[in-house]
Amino acid sequence: MKLCLSVLSMPVFVVILLAAGDSILFDYTYSESSSYFVFNPDFVGKPTSAIVNEKTDRVYITDFFGGKLVVLDGKTNEIIELIKVVKTPFGVGINSETNRIYVGGEFSNTLSILDSTTNQVIKDISLKDPYDIAVDSNTNTVYVTSDRSNSVYVIDGEVNEIKTSFEVLVPCGIAVNPITGRVYVTSESENLVHVWDGNANQQITTIKVQESPRGVTVNPVSNMIYVTNQETNTISVIDGETNKVVSTIDVGEIPRRIVADSRSNIIYVSNQGSKNISVIDGDNYNVIETIPVKEPFELAINSESGKLYSMYYGGELSIISKNFLSPLEQMSSGIEPLKVVCKEGLSLVFKTSNSNPACVKESSVQKLIQRGWASDHTPRKK
């Protein structure tokens, strides 16, 4: 079974659909695991893949069936712009140093390059079936996998031209370590990870992993590489210094994608079969928690805020936060006042002065109501 494929379509030109400053609020359901909190917005379209600009806290999400790039405000969780791009957009990458966004139109044979300050396309590159994208911001180099041509294309971000390519049978996931300049590409058919020296533009080695490797991520701080093995339900941990597998971790069913929070050294794995995300301690290589998620597949992480984004092109977007949002933060994200959720041990009340929700200790509810500070229902507006 070919696991890197999607649906055939044709390319179109880029047109901005929303004026600058327009926004759309999500309607949220809210659920929690033991220490992570999951928002499931009613997304406009079908979220496919995403990348985060940690400098601006903007999230760029491809809508495969809608042919759009959705721009999300990571602070408020609001959609602030919809950008019409090539049909069947899948992979997306970003260079936050140059403010360039790269969107691959799978089946459209086009890689579109956008200026993130204007959200306008500055160039289209003809490239066969682009799939996954990784960017080395230090060298301004873009790497794009194409499973149908068994190639990884290397693009010079300065002139926006393909400068070379290298062969990988059925390449799928790709990740780059910007500190070492090394690029890691999974080959599903060969059960290998190809290691490419981006500075010398040559292959260093291949690393044998388990069956059907797909996702790959790098923690540049620790120089460790993590690979999902779909058919064995495991993660291979590779030492970037020695190019050796140093550990194998059991996770959920059919692990697809994987991302690393470089600040906390926590690794997240989307398990499509068991509908959850495994949380791995990068120091000890063990699963420390499992987060229930409706349809986990593609992942993106903002290491600055700690927010995790999980999506599936046929289903939903989940926004996962380690930190519990305050009532006002939940409201700014589109949650109705009566649907605000409080931490365990706290109860939802409403201030009589302004009708805003608040979370207070259960033992304090009646005292606050008696004092006239709070109500246990939304006060009527005068």
Q: Where are the domains of the chain?
A: 15-328, 342-375
CATH, domain range 15-328:
2.130.10.10
Which residue type, as a one-letter code, is found at position 257?
R
- Residue 357 is encoded by which pair of tokens? 């929700």
Residues found in the chain? 382
- Residue 234 is encoded by which pair of tokens? 């495991």
**3-state class of 317 per DSSP?**
strand
**pLDDT at residue 315 in the model:** 80
Query: What's the rounded Cα separation, in Å, for the pair 120 and 10?
Result: 20
Burial bucket for residue 382 (CB in 10 Å: 0-12, 13-18, 19+): exposed
State the pairing for strand pair 213-219/202-208.
unpaired
pLDDT in tens, 101-150: 999 998 899 999 999 999 999 999 999 999 999 999 999 999 999 999 99
Taking residues 209-227, what's their average pLDDT?
97
pLDDT in tens, 163-206: 999 999 999 999 999 999 999 999 999 999 999 999 999 999 99
**pLDDT at residue 90 in the model:** 95
**Phi, then psi, of 35 in degrees rounded to 5:** -140, 5
Query: What's the rounded Cα separation, in Å, for the pair 26 and 242?
Result: 46
**pLDDT at residue 77 in the model:** 83
**Phi, then psi, of 186 in degrees rounded to 5:** -90, 140
Does residue 211 surpass a pLDDT of 90?
yes
Does residue 17 surpass a pLDDT of 70?
no
- Residue 275 is encoded by which pair of tokens? 């509908």
Does residue 343 surpass a pLDDT of 90?
no
Taking residues 275-287, what's their average pLDDT?
96
- Residue 356 is encoded by which pair of tokens? 């805003």
Taking residues 57-86, what's their average pLDDT?
91
**Phi, then psi, of 90 in degrees rounded to 5:** -120, -85
CA 253 to chain centre: 19
Contact predicate 191/168, CB 8 Å = no
Of 345 and 226, which is predicted with more confidence? 226
Give the DSSP H or E segment for 368: helix 365-370
Of 319 and 1, which is predicted with more confidence? 319
Mean pLDDT, the chain, whole residue set = 87
Q: Which are the contacts of 124, defined by CB distance < 8 A and separation ≥ 6? A: 86, 110, 111, 112, 113
Q: Is the dihedral of CA 282, 286, 292, 293 positive or negative?
A: positive
User: What secondary structure letter does DSSP report for 24?
Assistant: B
Contact predicate 141/100, CB 8 Å = no
